[in-house]
Chains A and B, each alone.
Chain A
Amino acid sequence: MHGTRILDEADRLMTVCNSCRYCEGLCAVFPAMEMRRSFSDGDLNYFANLCHSCGACYTDCQFSPPHEFNVNVPQTLAIARADSYAAYAWPRAFAGIFARNGLVISLISAFSVAAFIFGFAAWHDSKILFGIHTGPGAFYKLMPHNAMAALFGAVFSYAVVALIMGVRAFWRDIGEPIGMKADAASLWQAIRDAGELRYLDGGGVGCFNEDDRPTDRRKLYHHFTFYGFLLCFASTSVATLYHYLLAREAPYAWWDAPVVLGSLGGIGLLVGPIGLLAEKWKRDPVLVDQARMGMDTAFVAMLFLTSLTGMALLLLRETSAMGPLLALHLGVVFALFLTMPYGKFVHGIYRFVALVRYARERRMMGHGAASE
């Protein structure tokens, strides 16, 4: 017996799969399963986070529904995965956010946007809010740089701490001793596997989405989204260095590194999320955790809004719309950071940790690098 009914079901499925093993070439989940004969809660949560939901094992399985063995690994692991996010949430009191994720994130976003607009309006008279500001330091006429840095530094730090605590809980749950560090080779293997989304490919033929044809393009759109996000993050990091090391203040010219990185990333974060949502709505309901669609949608929407408001700010920063747009953009970004530990964002963190663990297990079991 396991902690939850879905883990009981995952255990039943892994017992079926472990006596079959036909899917062992498709991804990392089944080889990880083969290293075990019985499955703890932590083992099952590890498999759940290792699964990339490509759907191939469902399409390839001779025992998937309507067969009486009723083997549906992608959906079962998707539900267990979302359950695990809540279980690892820090502080524990916020675990419930995962259950009503779409609603909570919408409310927090609306509230933080309103707070920035109200804040700007309260601090300044409307001439400044709707004024035209150009040149270095233009943004800081609306909000002093130090205030902005302190506020976002605080929310970012909070998100990082909450995520680290979550990873700690996950690492402990899957049976790794705290303090046990992954070796460099396993880390590098996991970075490569995550970076190329190695296991989001249906075992090489492509993912499965609305039917048994591997026509899904989530991998492509996820690349747009993920690398778009990284570019935006790089943009902000470069701008921070400019500010403190070179005393160069935003906004920057269109050709400058922060703007180029941010624009490229912004395009990725517009194209990627739209593509992901379009693909998501096409997915066969039998493959997904339908109850958690709100969580997926909320996070994708937040990324999209972050980019949309950022791009609008870039295009209209020399007009009177700059003030309201800055408030809007900052509000969305603030909400994004604040909700990161309590939404779909965590999938990337836990999945990466699971990949590190998998790479480590493969080495310990003498399989060498997983790429062999």
Chain B
Amino acid sequence: MVDLSRKFDVLVIGGGNAALCAAIAARRAGASVLVLEGAPKFYRGGNTRHTRNMRCAHDAATDILTGPYTEQEFFDDLLRITGGQTDEELAKFMIRESKDILDWIVEQGVRWQPSLGGTLSLGRTNSFFLGGGRAMLNALYLTAEKLGVEILYDAEVTDLVVEDGMFLAARLKQPVNGASEIRASALVAAAGGFEANIEWLKEYWGEAADNFLIRGTPYNRGSILKILLAKGVQEVGDPTQCHAVAIDARAPKFDGGIITRHDSVVFGIVVNKHAQRFYDEGEDIWPKRYAIWGRLVAAQPDQIAYIVFDASVRHSFMPTLFPPIEGATIAELAGKLTLDAAALEKTIAEFNAAVRPGTFDHTILDDCRTEGLTPPKTHWARKIETAPYYAYPVRPGITFTYLGTRVNRESRMLMKDGKPSANMFAAGEIMAGNVLGKGYAAGIGMTIGSVFGRVAGREAARNAKN
């Protein structure tokens, strides 16, 4: 039984990749460590349980990586996806540290696998967890437990006692072993963003947020982030933005994870509830097209859209969790989707009439395009004319939020006046906005988590001893 009356050297709030890396690093540095995970044991780990890989720089091919991915190339990618919205010094520091993480994370029990299957072609840049993100988490938890890190589940923190930027104690919603206040010499906040907090999302998205589906657990409510910002920690990142992809509208409200996504947009057209197209389905290749559709659908009436395609491309993409809705005719399909049949027939007829001949190749920006259509489909445009016809209903699936706490290279939080906090550190999604101001690149969330988790744990342990 954990003795909560004692003062811990390091208190880690959160239970995902960043939190566990921090806990392990702090423990290995000799600190006593308590981890408070707000979720039940099965749902531990926040978004980490749905991840699969991590993006780390490396100078040469390895057993699991097909080629080099230099620090410069990584940084260039980061600049491109964020449009420059990144703290250059922190970003370069993270990328340099990421090289070492490839081995360090294995020392913590995590296992890599070669990129095998047909999901993503990231064999050169990204390392894949054998068994996925939950397997990675399980390994980190086992290691943390073996090292003597104390871990509590269902341990929701409702308040933090902070004086002049100095953390003193955390208050628990439900007392554990009679204790409701936990003291520690240093705090690592690694409790994620607020993507599962619909009320908070509504502040920026209005009632539309009611129609959002949340890809992770309902426990990613951002309560620690909110408390920290209220206690004078400087914020970073656009509070109104979140990473959203188009996922199947039949997915559960929470925790549908990776398997509800759709990447079939390029093979057909996307229409809203009025059976009207609203964006160029052939604008760009993965990952851009993948990441924009959540926000595009969020802007449509009732936050719903339909990816419509025909039998000729039925097997051109990954098998999906939910089967496509099928109609022998376009009118029948429209009926099943409760769309106006005449409107859908007209949209498809106009699209088909605008398609110009070309050579289809979904791996490049090919020359199959429409002419005289608004909006156009600039690549991969082929006629939808082979029955039966299919559709996937899609809604915005919210993955993570960008708002966070500003940190320095020690992963130490900065207060609103610019001064570093005496003993508060942050790692993972809660501070991702420092590096990732917008956009996304596969596996970068895990890089941020592991790199800054390890730094935060190490620095928090050092801080606690001084």
Question: Which residues does A use to contact B, with CB under 8 Å?
Answer: 15-16, 18-26, 31, 34, 37, 56-57, 59-63, 66-69, 203-205, 212-213
- Is B116's CB under 8 angstroms from A24's CB? yes
* 24 A-B pairs whose Cβ atoms sit less than 8 Å apart in the complex: A15-B321, A16-B321, A18-B319, A19-B319, A19-B321, A20-B132, A20-B259, A21-B118, A22-B133, A22-B135, A23-B131, A24-B113, A25-B113, A25-B114, A37-B315, A59-B135, A60-B131, A60-B134, A60-B135, A62-B49, A66-B42, A67-B42, A68-B252, A212-B138
Asked if B318 lies at the interface with its beta carbon under 8 angstroms from chain A, I say yes
Shortest distance from the beta carbon of A167 to any chain B beta carbon, whole Å: 30
Asked if B258 lies at the interface with its beta carbon under 8 angstroms from chain A, I say yes
Number of interface residues of B (CB under 8 A): 32
The docked-state distance in angstroms from the alpha carbon of A171 to that of B26 is 55
- Is A25's CB under 8 angstroms from B131's CB? yes
Picked from A19, A24, A25, A62, the residue with its CB within 8 Å of the CB of B133 is: A62
Asked if B268 lies at the interface with its beta carbon under 8 angstroms from chain A, I say no
- Is A21's CB under 8 angstroms from B119's CB? yes
Asked if B130 lies at the interface with its beta carbon under 8 angstroms from chain A, I say yes
Asked if B311 lies at the interface with its beta carbon under 8 angstroms from chain A, I say no
The dominant DSSP class at the B interface is loop
Picked from B114, B119, B132, B321, the residue with its CB within 8 Å of the CB of A60 is: B132
Asked if B255 lies at the interface with its beta carbon under 8 angstroms from chain A, I say yes
Which chain B residues border A57 with CB–CB below 8 Å? Answer: 131
Residue of A nearest to B141 (CB): A212
Residue of A nearest to B139 (CB): A205
The docked-state distance in angstroms from the alpha carbon of A204 to that of B110 is 11
- Is B138's CB under 8 angstroms from A19's CB? no
- Is A20's CB under 8 angstroms from B258's CB? yes
Asked if B372 lies at the interface with its beta carbon under 8 angstroms from chain A, I say no
Residue of A nearest to B130 (CB): A25
Question: Which residues does B use to contact A, with CB under 8 Å?
Answer: 42, 49-50, 52, 111, 113-114, 116-119, 128-135, 138-139, 142, 252, 255, 257-259, 315, 318-321
Given contacts A25-B130, A62-B134, A203-B131, contact A37 B319 (CB under 8 A): yes
Which chain B residues border A60 with CB–CB below 8 Å? Answer: 131-132, 134-135, 138
The docked-state distance in angstroms from the alpha carbon of A139 to that of B138 is 57
Which chain A residues border B131 with CB–CB below 8 Å? Answer: 22-23, 25-26, 56-57, 60, 203
- Is A203's CB under 8 angstroms from B138's CB? no
Residue of B nearest to A31 (CB): B116
Residue of B nearest to A65 (CB): B42
Shortest distance from the beta carbon of B40 to any chain A beta carbon, whole Å: 9
Residue of B nearest to A367 (CB): B116
Which chain A residues border B252 with CB–CB below 8 Å? Answer: 68
The docked-state distance in angstroms from the alpha carbon of A156 to that of B114 is 45
